[in-house]
Amino acid sequence: MEQIAENTTSLSQRYLTSASRLPIAIFYTVICVILLVGWQANLSSYITAESGIGYALGLAGGIMMLIMLLYSLRKRLHCLRNLFPTKYWFRMHMVLGVLGPTCILFHCAFSLGSTNSNIALFCMLIVAISGLVGRYLYSQIHYGLYGSKATATQIKADFISSSQRIEALYSLYPDLDQKLFRIDVSALEKKQNIASQFLNLFSYAIRGRFELYSALRALSKAKSALAKHENWDKKETRKFYNEAKKRLSIYYSTVRKIIGFQFYERMFSLWHVLHIPLFIMMIISGVVHVFAVHLY
Ligand code: HEM
C-alpha cells in the first residue's frame, strides 16, 4: 500500500501541473501589459536612449542579459556547481531573459534608430522569442521546467504503472474501461519522420483532451452507482472520485509524453543549433552597438 502511495506521489510530481504555475502566469501577463502600454504610448517624446532614464534602462537591460548568461557558466564550470541548485540559475536565466529585453524596448522607446542599433535590437528580440520557444520544448522533454530529463525508459515505466493503476480502478466499473484511450507503447521505439510525429501529436492533442473529458464525465456519472454498490459514505465517494480523476489525468499525460517525446527531443536539438548562433550574433551586434554609441 505504501509502495502504491509513493508511486502515486512520484507520478503526480512528474505529470500533474503544479500550483506554482500561477506566479509564472501573473509574471508573463504583467510583462505583456507593460509591453502593450509602452508600445501604445508615444514614448519617444519622453524617453531618449542617450541620457536619463532611457540610458539607465539600456544599461540595466544590458547588465541583466549579462547576468542571465551565468546560467551557461554554471552548467559548465565545476567551481560553481555547489553554488545554489541549477533550478535557481535556470529560473534567473528565464526571468532576466524577459526583463532584460523589456528594459531595452523601453530604452529605445519602441522605435527604430541607427542601423547598428536596429540590428542589435532585432537580434535580441529573436533570441528572446526563441528563448520562450525553447522554454516550451524544454518543459516537454523534462518533467516540468525544473524536473529531471525524461527518458524513453522512464516514460514507458510510468505509462505501464499508470495503466495498472487505471485497470485497478476500472475493475470496479468495467463500462468505463471502454472509454480509455489505448496506446501501443512500442510507439516510443519506432523511428518516424518529424512530420508524422507532429501529426500524431496534433491529433492526440485534440483527441486526448476530448477522451479525457468523456472519461471524466463517465466517471462522474458512475460515481453514485458505485458508491451505492460499495456502500461508501460521502467522504469515501469524494476520495474515490478525486483519486480516479488524478489517475485518469496522469494516464493521459503519460500517453501524451509517449506520443510527443521523440518529436520534442528532435525539435529541442534543432532549437539549440539555431539558438546558439543567434545568441552569438546578438552579443556581437550588442557590443558593436555599445562601442558605436559611445565613440560617435
Ligand atoms: C535575450 C535573451 C536571451 C539570451 C541572450 C539567451 C541565451 C541563452 C543561451 C546562450 C543559452 C544556451 C545555454 C547553454 O546551453 O549553456 C540559452 C538556453 C536556454 N534559454 Fe535562453 N536566452 C534568452 C532568453 C530566454 C528566455 C526569455 C527564455 C524563456 C523564458 C529562455 C529559455 C532558455 C532555455 C529553456 C534554454 C535551454 C536550457 C538548457 O538547455 O539548459 N531564454 N539561452
d(CA 89, ligand 1 centre) in Å: 11
| Digit-coded pLDDT (tens) for 77-110 | 878 778 888 889 999 999 999 999 999 999 999 9
Q: Taking residues 198-223, what's their average pLDDT?
A: 82
Q: Whose CA is nearest to atom 15 of ligand 1?
A: 72
**Contact (Cβ atoms closer than 8 angstroms) between residue 268 and residue 134:** yes
pTM of the full structure:
0.84
d(CA 188, ligand 1 centre) in Å: 28
User: In what helix (H) or strand (E) does residue 115 lie, and over which residues does it extend?
Assistant: helix 115-141
Is the model's pLDDT at 236 over the cut of 90?
no
Three-class SS of 18-63:
CCCHHHHHHHHHHHHHHHHHHHHCCHHHCCCCCCHHHHHHHHHHHH
Is the model's pLDDT at 2 over the cut of 60?
no
Ligand 1 close to Cβ of residue 64 (< 6 A) = no
Alpha helices in 70-114 (DSSP H): 70-76, 86-107
Is the model's pLDDT at 206 over the cut of 80?
yes
Give residue 59's region: left, alpha or beta (phi > 0; psi -120 to 50).
Answer: alpha
Q: What percent of the chain has pLDDT over 90?
A: 36
| Digit-coded pLDDT (tens) for 106-149 | 999 999 988 989 999 999 999 999 999 999 999 999 887 777 78
Ligand 1 close to Cβ of residue 271 (< 6 A) = no
Ligand 1 close to Cβ of residue 286 (< 6 A) = no
d(CA 281, ligand 1 centre) in Å: 14
d(CA 221, ligand 1 centre) in Å: 46
Q: Which is the closest atom of ligand 1 to the Cα of 282? A: 5
d(CA 126, ligand 1 centre) in Å: 12
Scanning the structure block, which residue is given the C-alpha cell 495503466?
163
Question: Per-residue b/e over 193-217, b at no fewer than 16 CB within 10 Å?
Answer: eeeebeebbeebeeebeebbeebbe
Task: Give me the chain's average pLDDT, please.
Answer: 84
Question: Between 112 and 163, whose confidence is greater?
Answer: 112
Ligand 1 close to Cβ of residue 149 (< 6 A) = no
Amino acid 12: pLDDT? 74
**Contact (Cβ atoms closer than 8 angstroms) between residue 43 and residue 53:** no
Gap between the Cα atoms of 278 and 158, Å rounded = 37
Amino acid 296: pLDDT? 67
Q: Taking residues 227-232, what's their average pLDDT?
A: 80
3-12, 53-62, 89-98 — which is least confidently predicted? 3-12
| Digit-coded pLDDT (tens) for 256-289 | 888 888 899 999 999 999 999 999 999 999 999 9
Is the model's pLDDT at 6 over the cut of 50?
no
Amino acid 57: pLDDT? 96
Amino acid 287: pLDDT? 93
**Residue 227 pLDDT level (bands cut at 50, 70, 90):** confident
Is the model's pLDDT at 4 over the cut of 70?
no
Positive or negative: CA dihedral 96, 105, 277, 269: positive
Gap between the Cα atoms of 282 and 287, Å rounded = 9
